[in-house]
Amino acid sequence: MTTIPNPIDLQKHLSGVDYPASKQDLIKAARDHGAGDDIVKALEAMPDREYDGPNAVSQAVAKR
C-alpha cells in the first residue's frame, strides 16, 4: 500500500493552480513544481474529474 502524501506538501506542489482543475492539470502543476513520485502517483490514482479546490484534491487523495 502506498502512503498518502502529507497534505501540506501536496498543496505546496499545487500552488498557483486555477480551480476548477482537471486531474491532468493537477498532475502537470505538481510536476512543474518539482513534486516527488509519491505526490504524482497519488494524483494519478484520483478519479478523472474536475476538482473545485484544494480541499477536494486532498479528500480525493486521502480516499484512494
Per-residue pLDDT reduced to its tens digit, 2-54: 578 999 999 999 999 999 999 999 999 999 999 999 999 999 999 999 999 99
| pTM summary value | 0.92
User: CA nearest 35: which of 53, 57, 51, 12?
Assistant: 12
